[in-house]
Chains A and B, each alone.
Chain A
């Protein structure tokens, strides 16, 4: 597609439930990033996929968070046993392999609210 697509755009879930957030990157973009923005905070790095390399998971805040990228395209971020502190906007970005940092294209994000 023309841009990075994220779904759902909004998600309200009960504490303790699992959620899945989806990201469709731009076709041909081999690098994919997940960030989140909590209220009053900057964008916090979560995880980075580059081609077939092992993902950089250094930003995942706990083992309740996991992500996968199937076929080098669509990515799913899963949060298990959600907590209220998981409430945030989750942003996905993709980039061409040879693109510089300005080549990041962000989606509009998924606003997650845990009640």
Chain B
């Protein structure tokens, strides 16, 4: 049973446009959500996070939105750049346990 779901395996956007990456979760105990970025042959690197007490967190070109009632979060990248092309993983954890549960990832391609 997948507790963190990234239903779209890939996304292609034009440079300069907005990229919207979606993630859904089923476990109501999750209260901390993160996005990781992964390039080929490298480990995932932390990108941005959000606590369940917030509905938005912004860091430069990256914004994460959380809709707790829908158990849905999204990552917005604007403007998208070719260097953003990578696999993006959504992850979640419960406060009492920092073990992360990851989604399958989405491959973002930003076209020049």
The residue on A at minimum CB distance from B105 is: A42
B67-105: CB near A (< 8 Å → 1, else 0) gives 000000000000000000000010101000011111111
A48 to B100, CA, bound (A): 10
26 contacts between A and B (CB under 8 A): A31-B98, A33-B99, A35-B102, A40-B104, A42-B2, A42-B4, A42-B89, A42-B102, A42-B103, A42-B104, A43-B44, A43-B91, A43-B100, A45-B99, A45-B100, A48-B99, A91-B43, A100-B32, A101-B93, A101-B98, A102-B49, A103-B46, A104-B46, A105-B43, A107-B43, A108-B42
The residue on A at minimum CB distance from B39 is: A108
| Chain B interface mostly | strand
Task: Tell me the B12-35 residues at the A interface (CB within 8 Å).
Answer: 32, 34
B41 at the interface (CB under 8 A from A): yes
B45 at the interface (CB under 8 A from A): yes
Interface residues on chain A, size class:
20 to 34
Q: Which residues of A contact B2 (CB under 8 A)?
A: 42
Chain A residues proximal to chain B, CB less than 8 Å:
4, 31, 33, 35, 40-45, 48, 56, 91, 93, 95, 100-109
A109 to B100, CA, bound (A): 17
